[in-house]
Amino acid sequence: MKKIINNPNQVLQDMVDGLIAANPQRLKKIPETFVIARADAPVQGKVGLVSGGGSGHEPAHAGYIGKGMLDAAVCGEVFTSPTPDQVYEAIKAVDGGAGVFLVIKNYTGDVMNFEMAAELAEAEGIQVEKVIVNDDVAVEDSSFTTGRRGIAGTVFVHKIAGAMADKGASLEDVKAVAEKVVANVRSMGMALTPCTVPAAGNPSFELAEDEMEIGIGIHGEPGIDRGTIATADEIATTLTEKVLEDREFSGEVAVLVNGLGATPEMELYIMNKKVHDILADRGINVYKTFVGEYMTSLEMAGCSVTLLQLDDELKELLDAESTAPAFRM
């Protein structure tokens, strides 16, 4: 294992400290936790947004804290759900009196622990609502979850729900628009190489030099097909057509071509070209495109393609200002 770390069992603490050191005017760490919040949290009268999960997906989730996106992120150990008490501390830290909204990726541990934290907060008089993101079209169930996994489409939920909350919307309205995004976003990914969890010290799975895995999850969960590596156009076609088969897209969409940690932007832009060609052939207009690393898997080489069906409301919220350091418009 080659990694730029200190103690493999201390990576979360070191990472959080380094993140705060890089953004002292924007972010703060809630004492005795691995919760990172806006420096000005709680914002009175505004619905607070909390997301999070296991670390190793940076810049998700703490990179999306800021005006117009999240108010706090809960960092679990690498690929491990944060505990209910940590999520509870995040809810309390962002409660400005208008309620708190949770964005949860559909993994068994995340769903269970976030829901337990919500119950604790509600017992203290804090109103809490949630949405569960399940945008991955590859597999229905995996070793980490029941139902579809939540992957890069989660970033669109952060952005649009965060923009709605920033407008002063009610908790019910934030929930409604988040559910609208979940209903209209689909993703699928692939990998060329595995990744290594620092505390484990070994790759999470094996791929031969000439192999790729289609439909893999962001923790290395199995996909739908393993075969000989294909061209960028072939990979883009496989991922995009699978997404298009899952729901009807028309009119205008947002596109996210997401790197999983070790894929050069050159290759992501090559993928993006083919995605645009496919959508143009289908008569689908691309309103906005995002290319880069938004939801990674440590040092995994690979990518995912996400499509979000847009309407006027979602376009306005997608375009709204955000100060989150990792969200590139």
Same domain, 244 and 145: no
| Beta pairing, strands 252-259 & 285-292 | parallel
Q: Is residue 208 part of a domain?
A: yes
Residue 290 placed within a domain: yes
Better pLDDT: 69 or 224: 69
CATH number, domain at 192? 3.30.1180.20
Report how far residue 328's alpha carbon sits from residue 312's, in angstroms, rounded to the nearest whole number.
Answer: 21
Q: Domain check: are 161 and 200 in the same one?
A: no
Determine the average pLDDT of the residues in 59-80: 97
Which percentage of the chain shows pLDDT scores above 70?
98
Q: With a cut of 80, say whether residue 6 has pLDDT above it.
A: yes
pLDDT in tens, 170-215: 999 999 999 999 999 999 999 999 999 999 999 988 999 999 999 9
Residue 328 near residue 259 (C-beta atoms within 8 A): no
Q: Is residue 2 assigned to a domain?
A: no
Q: What is the mean pLDDT of residues 280-300?
A: 98
Span of 142-151, 185-194, 283-292 with lowest mean pLDDT: 142-151
The answer on 271 and 213 residing in a single domain is yes
> What is the reported pLDDT for 105?
98
Bridge partner list, 226: 213
173 plus 47 within the same structural domain: yes
CATH number of the domain that 49 lies in? 3.40.50.10440
Among 131, 150, 183, residue at a domain's last position: 183
Is the domain of 179 the same as that of 189?
no
The residues annotated as belonging to the active site are 57, 219
133/246 Cα distance (integer angstroms): 16
Does residue 243 share a domain with residue 108? Answer: no
Burial of 269: CB neighbours in 10 Å, binned 0-12, 13-18, 19+: middle
Q: Are residues 24 and 152 in the same domain?
A: yes
Contact 72, 125 (CB under 8 A): no
Which uninterrupted H or E stretch holds 21?
Answer: helix 11-22
Would 53 be classed as within a structural domain? yes
pLDDT tens-digit readout, 208-217: 999 999 999 9
Q: Output phi, psi for 285, to 5 deg.
A: -90, 135
Check whether 322 has a pLDDT greater than 90.
Answer: yes
Provide the H-helix boundaries in the chain.
11-22, 84-94, 108-123, 154-166, 171-184, 232-246, 265-281, 312-319
Are 155 and 213 part of one and the same domain?
A: no
Residue 221 has a pLDDT of 87
Specify the number of domains making up the chain. Answer: 2
Q: What is the mean pLDDT of residues 126-154?
A: 90
Structure tokens at 146: 């029941």
Residues 233-257 pLDDT 10s: 999 999 999 999 999 999 999 999 9
Domain shared by 40 and 52, yes or no:
yes
Strand order in the sheet with 252-259: 225-228, 211-214, 185-191, 302-309, 252-259, 285-292
pLDDT value at residue 1: 87
- pLDDT at position 205, please? 87
Asked if residue 178 belongs to a domain, the reply is: yes
Q: Is residue 292 part of a domain?
A: yes
Q: Which of 116, 151, 183 is the last residue of a domain?
A: 183
Confidence of residue 142 (pLDDT cuts 50, 70, 90): low
Mean pLDDT, rounded, of the chain? 96
- The boundaries of the domain holding residue 211 are 185-319
Where is the domain boundary, 167, 183, 199? 183
Terminal CA-CA length for the chain: 35
pLDDT of 149 over the 90 cut: yes
**Residue found under tokens 């997404």:** 243
Confidence of residue 292 (pLDDT cuts 50, 70, 90): very high
Tokens of 90: 């995040």
> Is 329 part of any domain?
no
Q: For residue 327, tell me if it sits in a domain.
A: no
Q: Within this chain, do residues 136 and 194 fall inside the same structural domain, yes or no?
A: no
Same domain, 35 and 101: yes
CA dihedral 166, 171, 177, 183 (to 10 degrees): 140
Q: What is the per-residue pLDDT for 146?
A: 79
Per-residue confidence band for 143, with pLDDT thresholds at 50, 70 and 90: low
| One domain for residues 193 and 281 | yes
